[in-house]
Amino acid sequence: MSPRLTVFFIVEPPKYEQMACYLAASLRQQFGKTVDLVGYCPDSSIGNVSKDVIAVLANLDCEVRPFKVEGRFDPAYPHGNKILAALEPRETEFSAFFDSDVLCLRPNKVENIIKEGHVSLTPAASMVWGTGKTWNLIYDTCGMPLPDERIKLMRQKGDRERIPYFSSGLFSFPEKHRNADGNTFPEVWMEIAQTIDRNEEIPGRRPYLDQISLPLAIQKAGLQWNILPEEQHYILGGSLRGEPLPEGCEIYTVHYRKWEILREVGLARQAKKMLEKRAGVRRIDQISTLAEPAAPEGD
């Protein structure tokens, strides 16, 4: 049997609550019951989550849980919600975070996206906030040496390899792992992110802090990175905007960013079909009608 995996994501109104429903439906369609699903919402916003969204996610066997945001980042840092959600307790051996604007397209297996002793993820599409010298400053700030390994970014031009920089839009990690100091990966990630955030000399700290801190957190947590095939996290938009999906490529998961982009590549209909099949409705606002008792028949 595969290790148990919880896939978690952000359910926050107004932008991310509906996307989360389509993501959850696609996870149920492609992974079935092999994964647990948890949606997280900042405690300051959870009272505003649509009842229809809560009902749809309940039909998908997905609980919505709050997490505390006040005082965790100063000033507030919404991109850090994935770090705060990662810190929450879960019961499975592995956890995976998916951005809400992600959709699973074909049947998948837990073992394809996890690896013991590793954080499994893909390179970032690009890096627009700094240079190689910036990485020297970042690692110095955290009292860490630069890694020896180099990688290619997902959408980079040219063949020059770079200091590892990863997307935080989809990643998995072992829940039971502890480093030499007894800390979990999310605890180390939070510590590193806050250390970098305090150094005002680092350009691009926000909004890229979550991704900047990610490779350092993996190293300080005593883990390694497991680079997933691009098919497991295919990033749409950007330099690929307007292009169809590549032919002959079995893409498991797309990161679409905007619903219009999903429509442009012909996947919006598939998203709605998966929602209908797994949650019983083609549109989220139909769930209240589904839940209503049938009207009594006339005489």
Which two three-digit tokens encode residue 241?
């905007």
| For residues 251-260, average pLDDT | 95
Residue 16 inside a domain? The answer is yes
Average pLDDT over residues 232-244: 85
Domain count, the chain: 1
> How much is the pLDDT for 290?
64
Contact 98, 37 (CB under 8 A): no
Is 246 inside any structural domain?
yes
Domain contains 183? yes
- For the entire predicted model, the pTM comes to 0.94
At 23-49, the pLDDT tens digits run 999 999 999 999 999 999 999 999 999
SS (H, E, C) the chain: CCCCEEEEEECCCCHHHHHHHHHHHHHHHHHHHHEEEEEEEECCCHHHCCHHHHHHHHHCCEEEEEECCCCCCCCCCHHHHHHHHHCCCCCCCEEEEECCCEEECCCCCHHHCCCCCEEEEEECCCCCCCCHHHHHHHHHHCCCCCCCCCECCCCCCCCCCECCCEEEEEEEEECCCCCCCCCCHHHHHHHHHHHHHCCCCCCCHHHHHHHHHHHHHHHHCCCEEEECCHHHCEECCHHHCCCCCCCCCCCCEEECCCHHHHHHCCCHHHHHHHHHHHHCCCCHHHHHHHHCCCCCCCC
* pLDDT tens per residue across span 47-86: 999 999 999 999 999 999 999 999 999 999 999 999 999 9
Residue at 21 is within a domain: yes
Instruction: Mark residue 238 as left, alpha or beta (left: phi above 0; alpha: psi -120 to 50; beta: remaining).
Output: left
Q: Judge whether 294 lies within some domain.
A: no
Task: Please compute the mean of the pLDDT values over residues 163-188 and round it to a whole number.
Answer: 98
Residue 256 lies in a domain: yes
Q: Are 90 and 4 in contact (CB under 8 A)?
A: no
Does 14 fall in a domain?
yes
**Residue 15: Cβ within 10 Å count:** 11
Structure tokens at 230: 């691009």
pLDDT digit string, tens, across residues 105-128: 999 999 999 999 999 999 999 998
d(CA 26, CA 16): 15
> What is the residue range of 56's domain?
5-288
Q: Over the stretch 125-164, which tens digit does the pLDDT of each residue have?
A: 999 898 889 999 999 999 999 999 999 999 888 788 999 9
Q: Which pLDDT value is given to residue 236?
A: 93
Q: Is residue 200 part of a domain?
A: yes
d(CA 98, CA 284): 20
The answer to whether residue 269 scores a pLDDT higher than 80 is yes
pLDDT at 296 over 90: no
Instruction: Give the domain CATH number at 121.
Output: 3.90.550.10
